[in-house]
Structure 1
Amino acid sequence: MKFIIITGDSKGLGEAVAKRWMEDGVSVIGISRTYNGTLKETADSCGVSYRHYECDLTDEAATNNTLAAVHNYLQREDVEALTLLNNAGMVGPIEKVGALDIPAVDRHIRLNVSVPVLLANYILGLANEWEVPLTLVNITSGAAGKTTEGWSVYSAGKAAIDRFTAVTAKEQEQKSHTILAYSPGVMDTDMQEEIRSASEDSFKDVEKFRELKEKGELTSPERVAEVLRNLLKEEPVQNGKVYKLYDYIDKY
């Protein structure tokens, strides 16, 4: 069986990817704080399995316990191939340096940087041990390469993910794995609502994001998921590369 492990699968891009991959006959393992019953319904209609683990990934002990549970589950299955989508993330704190909330920074770095690294390390280790191909997709952002006031933590975290992806790919050159970062652009998700609610004092560009919503220029998570699926199926993927939605959305 083919399995995809998705963090933050209960909504947004995670939910859209789960449903799209189910349609292709891939079983889904979801890790998020809340359970989305429609994913089980989709899995049943597609003839695949869906297993959900409720977990706050900012909690180290809970994350470790969840990884152990995922391991125990998978080792009882006939695993042909694995995919890991490191999707869970947060944008806050949206604030200038000097006024950052330290606990919020700690949670952000844990969720946006530490967790993707730890999950990739764990699942890549399993894939190598079991000698099955792994597709590792780390969700990144155009913010990784931009200097945006109020986004120091978010930009730094995504830049770290880009470099982590490149180094991991370099290390695994002799393996049959696919390793990339995917930048989904500006999606119509809860994260965008948080961005639009920021104050102009904290986030200079907030009005630009409000205008994108007003003009209907946000991309749906379903469209982003479809482009990712087609990219992986149709393109000769260059391991370690950052793939950007807007470079492929007209093609797929």
Structure 2
Amino acid sequence: MKAIVTGTSRGLGAAIAITLLERGIPVLGLARQHNPALTRFGAACAQAALDLSNPDALTHWLASGDMAGFLADDDAVLLINNAGTVQPVGPLGTQGGAAVAQAVSLNVAAPLMLADALLTASPAATDRRILHVSSGAARNAYAGWNVYCATKAALDHHARAVREDALPGLRICSLAPGVIDTDMQVQVRNSDEARFPARERFEALKRDGALVPPAVCAARLVDYLLSGAFGNSAVADLREVAPA
């Protein structure tokens, strides 16, 4: 078994990569920057510096054959689409076209491109699992988060539609992991309340100790990903599922 994880430079992505590596599963991490914390795993962890918000750069990397080379005839492969951005925050008319395009590229285009490429890059695999890291914002609307809500909802519906394809040996789930104590939460708490009226709710979660440490979330997420229950539902919430 081998895994490809996006957004491994920090936060939940780094924690997921470490969890998989500690369980003996080789990882290819895709992120803007290499993560020095992953080098202790030696050859078990490969890293590619890649701007996933740039579709041309991702297209070029996919054409390089590096993905197929890493998966190398393995019969079980995992793809965890974790990389994402909450920006731009604010109502329509305040976001800017470039920021919207960058968010859609990172949050939607990259996961869909990688999911498609996974199948062609792993012809020998009989067990393929794709996990989109979604959000409660995909299922609940927030003022100021129309781009973030829409992009995460796109991942949910992508998983639903792929599941309808009923491809042999493929399981997929768009999974909301809960509220995690990451840099993204720092950005949320630092948002202008005029642009994101729900800021106080997220400040209260931090004050009340309700944010889950990335390592704790990653362990539960990997447990579910590797379980027999994974993929039974195309859209799920980690707080409501348990490994079978």
- Give TM-score scaled by structure 2 length: 0.93
Q: Tell me, which stretches of 5 or more residues in structure 1 are unaligned?
A: none
Structure 1 position 169, deviation (Å): 1.6
Structure 1 position 158, deviation (Å): 0.7
- Distance in 2, Cα, partners of 1:69 & 1:30: 15
Given the alignment, which residue of 202, 207, 211 partners 2:195?
202
Task: State the match for 2:78 in structure 1.
Answer: 83
Task: State the match for 2:113 in structure 1.
Answer: 118
CA contact (8 A) 2:115 2:130 kept: yes
Instruction: Check if 1:218 corresponds to 2:211.
Output: yes
Q: How does 1:1-252 map to 2 (within 5 A)?
A: 2-41=1-40, 43-44=41-42, 49-67=44-62, 68-71=64-67, 73-74=69-70, 77-127=72-122, 129-171=123-165, 173-248=166-241
- 4+ runs of 1 displaced by more than 6 Å? none
Q: Tell me, which stretches of 5 or more residues in structure 2 are unaligned?
A: none
Structure 1 position 55, deviation (Å): 0.7
Structure 1 position 49, deviation (Å): 1.1
CA contact (8 A) 1:16 1:221 kept: yes
Q: 1:121 to 1:72 in 2, by over 3 A?
A: closer
Percent of aligned pairs with the same residue? 32
- Superposition CA RMSD, Å: 1.9
Aligned residues: 243
CA contact (8 A) 1:6 1:85 kept: yes
Q: Could you tell which deviates more after superposition, 96-105 or 149-158?
A: 96-105
Structure 1 position 72, deviation (Å): 5.0
Q: Report the residue type matching 1:59 in the other structure.
A: N
| Secondary structure of 1:52's aligned partner | strand
- Give TM-score scaled by structure 1 length: 0.90
Structure 1 position 97, deviation (Å): 1.3
- Distance in 2, Cα, partners of 1:72 & 1:227: 28
CA contact (8 A) 2:5 2:82 kept: yes
- Distance in 1, Cα, partners of 2:167 & 2:79: 19
